[in-house]
Amino acid sequence: MMAELLDVNAGVERFAPIAPKDWAAIPEALRPNLLGFTGQTMWEGAEAALGLDAAGFVNKAWCALEAHSPEIQRRTALTWESATGALETYTFAQLNEHANCVANGLQSLGVTKGDRVFVFLERIPELYWTILGILKLGAIAGPLFAAFGPDAVQDRLSDSGAVAIVTSPVLKARVDGVRDELPNLKHVIVVDHRSTTGWQRQPGDVSYAECIANQSHVFKTVHTTADDGSVMHYTSGTTGKPKGALHRHGAILSQWATAKYVLDLKPETDVYWCTADPGWVTGTAYGMFGPWSMGVHQLVTEAPFNASHWYRLIQDHGVTVWYTAPTAIRMLMKAGEALPVQYDLSSLRHLCSVGEPLNPEAIVWGQKALGHAFHDTWWQTETGCMHVVNTPTMAIKPGSMGKPIVGIVVGILNEQWEPVPEGEEGHLALRPSAPSLFKTYWNREEVYQSKFQNGWYLTGDRAWQDADGYVWFVGRDDDVINTAGHLVGPFEVESALVEHPAVAEAAVIGKPCPERLEVVKAFVSLKTEYLPENDEAKTKLLNDIQQFVRHRLAAHAMPREISLVDSIPKTRSGKIMRRLLKARELGLPEGDLSTLEE
């Protein structure tokens, strides 16, 4: 049923497997090692390559900035294009100096190892080196997506007990509104030197220009081990508010390895562009740590998606390797094949995708319009690095996510958490062996433990594996909504909805959408006194409810559709039956209703 809903594997037979370039000319025996890879696990050799010593010192920011030869230190690490088209470039050495100023500045405020420090900034260079500076200090960095509203910010700062947040004059207003609820938050550091917008200084506010920019450029990275906490990304589940998935510093080993062998990055020649924001895991693992630990030059753009702008960026900056997402690819496809022809995209040599099922059509379109097939990669916030992939040397089966990376064992499990026969659908699970697998969910150890059964880590996805070892995504195993690659938990949207004065009860599902994979759809029952008198009043009220969620949580969490209902179907124990609402919405069989409340 889920396969039908998501329409991922439909029509796969229409496409023959796509062989890598010049595949036929390569002797069979050499194919697995084409990238120079010979280990038993993909991350074997990462410690030596990163120059890590035997004393157990591992720090992601150090690996990204200081592990390099003097020659690489002098090379460009970051080219940044602002929303208005201004360019700034930074070498690895310069990024390191800025990160050191941040580490010194935070230290002067009393921030120490293990403290949680959040970063709530637009996609500007300060966002990147602030995260790196926090990590050099041994503190835990919590990147926040700039589109988050006050409720989303409050949930994360409060749950993590953050002591400081680095933000901008514009975004600060969203923190100020919830500050009374955050007793642990001592410092609000405002990146004020880029903006002409003034800001109201309140007790605990610190100017970045005054406190950070004047600090020493030298800082000795605090001693952290592979097991120490590094970055924390909040991720949505079916129940409860988003949970803080805590990564270890040791994650850098498999992030480095997958950047090398899956993204195929080469420090000498590549200009690499990851389109993800560091507010999401792809934006830190592969928009910062993996590529920078490889010494690779990265492009960052502050501007949001625009098809011609994106093609222009590839052309002007000579992008060679590109990591993006299916929703963006579908939007490029929609913009037409006549558009890419207007740009010189000949620098591109390797394309990868993540975050949602990659339609076979999108792979074929990439080959035709851009000259290269998109290589799908599957992973999650919790896994910390790519786990099921198409390496550049593998034949692609369009519609499949590829094969597990070397060193990772995938299991397709039944309800008893035992492997099912080949070709059968089940829970997608992994043997927990990657150094990047998350350390815990912050404050939610029992939920973390519940993810491990029978020696497997349960991913929450459903899939099947074919005779060649290729893994085929079927759908989510839970009610989590994937809208344009962003996971949204129904509970957080329902919680925001019921805070609206007119809403009595709410239920939220993911509704299939050809462009965004799914959109958030809400069902709400109203308090009697708020029932609208006519259609005009109804439209106004629904619009008001939409905006209410948008401002509190984020634009992507806003229900695109709201249906008014008399009551919300629940189980006898009071749980919302989202699956029933979804089945009814899509005209599918309603399934077992024995637990439905009378």
Which of 54-62, 201-209, 371-379, 572-580 is the region at the interface with ligand 6R9 (rule: CB under 6 A)? 371-379
| 255 part of the interface to ligand 6R9, by CB under 6 A | no
Closest CA to 283 of 495, 48, 122: 122
Q: Which of 487, 506, 526, 557 binds ligand 6R9 (CB under 6 A)?
A: 487
Determine if 479 is a binding residue for ligand 6R9 (CB under 6 A): no
Taking CB under 6 A as the binding criterion, the range among 102-110, 457-465, 493-501, 540-548 that sits at the site for ligand 6R9 is 457-465
Region from 87-95, 140-148, 224-232, 348-356 binding ligand 6R9, contact rule CB under 6 A = 348-356
Alpha helices in 161-280 (DSSP H): 169-176, 208-211, 251-261
Distance separating alpha carbons of residues 132 and 61, to the nearest angstrom? 5
> Using the rule CB under 6 A, is 277 a contact of ligand 6R9?
no
Q: How many residues bind ligand 6R9 (CB under 6 A)?
A: 23
- Is position 151 an interface residue for ligand 6R9 (rule: CB under 6 A)? no
126 versus 461: smaller Cβ distance to ligand 6R9:
461
Distance CA 252, CA 13 (A): 38
Considering the rule CB under 6 A, would residue 282 count as an interface residue with ligand 6R9? yes
Cα 172–chain centre separation: 23
- Residue 457 as a binder of ligand 6R9 (CB under 6 A): the answer is no
Supply the minimum distance, in Å, between the C-beta of residue 473 and ligand 6R9: 4
Residue 215 DSSP class: S
Q: Which is nearer to ligand 6R9, 481 or 580 (CB)?
A: 481
CA 282 to CA 290: how far, in whole Å?
10
Q: What is the DSSP letter of 367?
A: I
b/e sequence 235-252, b meaning 16+ C-beta within 10 Å: bbbeeebbbbbbbbbbbb
From candidates 293, 320, 381, 546, binder to ligand 6R9 by CB under 6 A: 381
State which residue, 138 or 475, has the beta carbon closest to ligand 6R9: 475
459 is a site residue for ligand 6R9 (CB under 6 A)? yes
Q: In sequence order, what are the residues at sequence separation of 6 or more whose Cβ sits closer than 8 angstroms to the Cβ of residue 563?
A: 521, 522, 523, 524
Least separation in angstroms between residue 6's CB and ligand 6R9 is 9
| Interaction between residue 270 and ligand 6R9 (CB under 6 A) | no
* Token pair for 436: 């990047």
- β-strand partners of 246: 232, 440
- C-beta of residue 90 within 8 angstroms of C-beta of residue 81: no
Q: How far apart are CA 83 and CA 63, in angstroms?
A: 29
**Residue with smaller CB distance to ligand 6R9, 125 or 360:** 360
- The whole-angstrom separation of Cα 580 and Cα 562 is 16
DSSP readout, 287-307? IIIHHHHTT-EEEEE-S---H
Considering beta carbons, is residue 237 or 340 the nearer one to ligand 6R9?
237
| Site membership for ligand 6R9, residue 235 (CB under 6 A) | yes
Q: Which two tokens stand for residue 252?
A: 């850098």
Single out the segment in contact with ligand 6R9 by CB under 6 A; choices: 42-50, 68-76, 222-230, 459-467.
459-467
Helix, strand or coil, per DSSP, at residue 77: strand
Taking CB under 6 A as the rule, does residue 510 contact ligand 6R9? Answer: no
> Closest approach of Cβ 404 to ligand 6R9, in Å?
13
Give the footprint of ligand 6R9 on residues 383-402 (CB under 6 A).
401
Q: Copy the structure tokens of residue 518.
A: 């799914």
Find the farthest-apart pair of alpha carbons in the chain and give their distance in angstroms, rounded: 75
Angle at 521 between CA 237 and CA 444, to 5 degrees: 10
Tell me the helix, strand and coil percentages in the chain, rounded to 5.
30, 25, 45
Assess contact for 267 and 52: CB atoms under 8 A: no
Which window, 26-34, 278-286, 302-310, 331-339, contacts ligand 6R9 (CB under 6 A)? Answer: 278-286
Q: Give the pairing type, strands 271-274 and 297-301.
A: parallel
Residue nearest to ligand 6R9 (CB): 381
| 485 and 327 Cβ atoms separated by less than 8 Å | yes
Among 283, 357, 384, 399, binds ligand 6R9 (CB under 6 A): 357
Among 227, 281, 237, residue whose Cα is nearest residue 114: 227
Name which position in 244, 250, 355, 398 contacts ligand 6R9 (CB under 6 A). Answer: 355
Contact range with ligand 6R9 by CB under 6 A, out of 16-24, 75-83, 277-285, 335-343: 277-285
Residue 298 or 377 with smaller CB distance to ligand 6R9: 377
Decide if residue 378 touches ligand 6R9 (CB under 6 A). yes
In three-state secondary structure terms, 106 is helix
3-class secondary-structure state, position 557: helix
Nearest distance from C-beta of residue 354 to ligand 6R9, angstroms = 5
- Asked if 379 touches ligand 6R9 (CB under 6 A), the answer is yes
CA 324 to the chain's CA centroid: 11
By CB under 6 A, is residue 476 in contact with ligand 6R9? yes
> To 10 degrees, what angle do helices 490-498 and 150-160 make?
120
- Of 22-30, 392-400, 453-461, 557-565, the window that binds ligand 6R9 (rule: CB under 6 A) is 453-461
Q: Which stretch binds ligand 6R9 (CB under 6 A): 55-63, 115-123, 352-360, 490-498?
A: 352-360
Is residue 159 part of the contact set for ligand 6R9 (CB under 6 A)? no
The angle at the Cα of 409, spanning 373 to 272, to the nearest 5 degrees, equals 35
Q: For tokens 């409810």, what's the residue?
A: 545
Residue type, 383: T
Looking at residue 151, what DSSP letter applies? H
Q: Which is nearer to ligand 6R9, 133 or 489 (CB)?
A: 489
- The window from 35-43, 131-139, 341-349, 350-358 that contacts ligand 6R9 (CB under 6 A) reads 350-358
Q: Any contact of residue 473 with ligand 6R9 (CB under 6 A)?
A: yes
| CB 350 within 8 Å of CB 325 | no
Q: How far is the CB of 286 from ligand 6R9 (least distance, A)?
A: 9
- CA-based nearest residue to 205, from 170, 172, 161, 157: 172
The stretch among 35-43, 210-218, 349-357, 492-500 that binds ligand 6R9 (CB under 6 A) is: 349-357
Measured from the CB of residue 326, what is the shortest distance to ligand 6R9 in angstroms? 8
Least distance to ligand 6R9, CB of residue 400, Å? 9
* Partners of residue 511 on adjacent β-strands: 519
Nearest approach in angstroms of CB 425 to ligand 6R9 is 14
Give the interface with ligand 6R9 as residue ranges (CB under 6 A).
235, 280-282, 354-358, 376-381, 401, 459-461, 473, 476, 482, 487
